[in-house]
Amino acid sequence: MKKENTEVRYDIVSNEWIIISPKRGARPNNFQEARDCPFCDLKDQEKPKFYFYKGKESNGKKWTTVVIPNKYPVFNLENKNKKIKDGVYSKIIGKGHHDLIITKEHDKFLSQLEDTRSEEVFTCIQKLINSYKDNNFVKQVAIFHNKGEKSGASQPHPHYQVMTLPIIEREFKTELESFNKFYKKNKKCLYCEINKRELKEKERIVLENEHFIAFCPFAPKVGFQVVISPKRHNPNFEKITEEEKKSLSKIFKKMLYKYDNILKEKNYNFFIHTAPLNKEYPYFHWYMVFYPRSSSLGGLEMGFRIEISQAMPEEQAKILREGK
């Protein structure tokens, strides 16, 4: 069988990059078929990159968190990064990393485990980003988690994905431009200003601790969307301090608990937006965002990218803030 590469094709009409990864179709879906879990027993997986046990790196004899290269990667390291332009069409045959962070327990999410376990996952993300830094084919790093089948997950066993992209995708590019424009005009960081405004108004705040705030954004893309934003200006997630990581784990776990127990939301995604690695982006401010996936997209959302949320974020923040 011909080995099919992932292609990143450029849609010249909408000015965006689309990833086509035929090999991804081969990955098993354990939501649809009951098979042995590939993450409970790692024997058929790629060789682990590193392990953690009780907060410290371990040799793997005992572990609570493990990092392995994805067996069905979107991009791989064998490809040469090449850009091909042919008239109105252009594409990139991409090279990249695609790693999985797996927590030991098959049926326990980070919301049900001690805070230190979330800390381990954040440390793994930090370590991975730092390990990608010297690779000139890496532009953006995508960090995400899919919870529940409707969120795009193919395995119920909790895992977190860290993937490098040979491009900066359109939405993120627009975001970087907004931060840059705001900085040039006001000599201030956009998210530092948003933090200040949210802390002053308080009505969209869900949680706050020493280093972070969690709030429902003023203009959400989906209902009950929540952003966790660091109080300290810092473009790069991998530069968080140990103290911030402890604080982040606490607010993150409380947020997961709220989704699980107040909303009883079974399907959601979360992402970490962090500055790309191809150069410095001093005007950017990293943050984390949660998207519940209980509603499906309609024509207006799909065709015109106009989001309709069914309730005011101020009311949704109150439900999340006050719910137990």
Out of 10, 39, 52, 291, the residue judged to bind Zn ion by CB under 5 A: 39
- Among candidates 103, 171, 165, 154, which has minimal Cα distance to 129? 165
SS3 305: coil
Is residue 252 involved in binding Zn ion (CB under 5 A)?
no
Is residue 102 involved in binding Zn ion (CB under 5 A)?
no
Rounded Cα distance, 215 and 217, in Å: 6
Is residue 157 involved in binding Zn ion (CB under 5 A)?
yes
Is residue 125 involved in binding Zn ion (CB under 5 A)?
no
Burial of 290 (0-12, 13-18, 19+ CB in 10 A): buried
Binding segment (CB under 5 A) for Zn ion, from list 63-71, 132-140, 184-192, 299-307: 184-192
Binding segment (CB under 5 A) for Zn ion, from list 62-70, 141-149, 255-263, 280-288: 280-288
Nearer to Zn ion, 158 or 292 (CB): 158
- Among candidates 54, 31, 30, 33, which has minimal Cα distance to 41? 30
Q: How many residues bind Zn ion (CB under 5 A)?
A: 10
Rounded Cα distance, 226 and 268, in Å: 11
Nearer to Zn ion, 24 or 233 (CB): 233
Is residue 311 involved in binding Zn ion (CB under 5 A)?
no
Rounded Cα distance, 297 and 92, in Å: 29
Nearer to Zn ion, 85 or 232 (CB): 232
Is residue 37 involved in binding Zn ion (CB under 5 A)?
yes
CB of 42 to Zn ion, least distance (A): 10
Is residue 233 involved in binding Zn ion (CB under 5 A)?
yes
Is residue 191 involved in binding Zn ion (CB under 5 A)?
yes
The Cβ-side half-sphere exposure at 193, using a 13 Å CA radius, reads 10
Is residue 285 involved in binding Zn ion (CB under 5 A)?
yes
Q: DSSP character for 263?
A: I
